[in-house]
Structure 1
Amino acid sequence: MRNHTRTRILAAVAAAGVLLHAVPASAFSDITNDKQAAIVQSLQDKGLIQGISADKFAPNAKLTNAQAVQLIVDAIGLDSAKKKTNAPSWFLAVPQDAWYTGALKTALERGIVIDGQWNANGNPTREQFAKLLYLGLLQKGNYAKVSKYKAIADAKQIAPKNRVAIEYLLLTKIASLDGKKNFRPTDAITRMEAAEMIYYAERMVNKSYASSDKATVIYKVENVDPSFNKVTLTRTNLPGTGYGLKIRKIEFVSDTEAIITYAPTDPPSGGSGTAYPAHAVAYVPIVYDITVKAE
Structure 2
Amino acid sequence: MESVKIGKRDATYRMNGSSERERVEVNIMKKMTNIVLLASLLVFSLGSSAFAFSDLKGSPDEAAIQSLQEKGIVEGMDGDRFAPNTSMTAAQGVQLIVKALDLNLGKIRFIRAPKASDSFTKAKDDVWYSESFIIAAMNSLPIGRDIDPQQTLTREQFAEWLHAAVEKTGPYPVVNMFVNIADQAEVTPGSMNAIQVLLLTKIAKLDDASKFNPKKPITRAEAAVMAYNAMEFVAKHSKAEEPATAPSEEEGVKVIVEKQSDELNKVTLSRGLQPNPGYGITIDRVDYVSDSEAVAYYTLRKPDPDKMYPAVMTEAKASVTVKAGYKVTAKPSK
- TM-score by length of structure 1 reads 0.58
How far off its partner does 1:146 sit?
5.8
Measured after TM superposition, the shift of residue 123 of structure 1 is: 0.9
TM-superposition CA deviations, 1:112-137 (whole Å, max 9, x none): 12135120100110000000000001
Residue aligning to 2:65: 40
SS of aligned partner of 1:35? coil
Q: 1:50-65, aligned counterparts within 5 Å?
A: 50-65=75-90
CA contact (8 A) 2:206 2:212 kept: yes
Answering whether residue 195 of structure 2 is matched by residue 166 of structure 1, we say: yes
Q: 2:181 aligns with which of 142, 152, 160?
A: 152
Aligned equivalent of 2:144: 115
Alignment of 1:1-295 (within 5 A): 27-80=52-105, 82=107, 91=120, 94-115=123-144, 117-145=146-174, 147-206=176-235, 221-222=236-237
2:130 maps to a residue whose letter is: T
Higher relative contact order (CA 8 A, sep 6+): 1
Q: Counterparts of 1:28 and 1:82 in 2: how far apart (Å)?
A: 37
Task: Decide whether the 8 Å contact of 2:121 with 2:147 is kept in 1.
Answer: no
Q: What amino acid is the match of 2:52?
A: A
Compute the displacement of 1:35 (Å). 2.6
SS, match of residue 133 in structure 2: helix
Q: What amino acid sits opposite 1:35 in the alignment?
A: P
2:230 is matched by which residue type in structure 1? A
Q: Which runs of 4+ in 1 moved over 4 A?
A: 81-90
2: CA distance, partners of 1:148 / 1:166 = 12
Does the CA contact (< 8 Å) of 1:26 and 1:32 recur in 2? no
Deviation at 1:54, TM superposition (A): 2.6
Q: Secondary structure, in 3 states, of the residue corresponding to 2:237?
A: strand
RMSD: 3.0
Larger gyration radius, structure 1 or structure 2: 2
- Segments of structure 1 that go 5 or more residues without pairing to the other structure are 1-23, 207-220, 233-295
Relative to total residues, which structure has the larger helix share, 1 or 2? 2
CA contact (8 A) 1:146 1:164 kept: no
Partners of 2:211 and 2:226 in 1: how far apart? 16
Conserved in 2, the CA contact under 8 Å of 1:79 and 1:106? yes
Kindly provide the CA deviation profile for residues 230-282 of structure 1, in whole angstroms up to 9, marking residues without a partner as x.
Answer: 8x9xxxxxxxxxxxxxxxxxxxxxxxxxxxxxxxxxxxxxxxxxxxxxxxxxx
State the alpha-carbon separation in 2 of the partners of residues 143 and 88 from structure 1: 32
Residue pair 1:29, 1:56 contacting (<8 A) in 2 also: yes
Q: Structure 2 CA distance, aligned partners of 1:77 and 1:91?
A: 21
Structure 1 residues 138, 78: CA separation in 2 closer, same or farther (over 3 Å shift)? same
- Structure 1 92/155 Cα, relative in aligned 2: closer, same or farther at 3 Å? closer
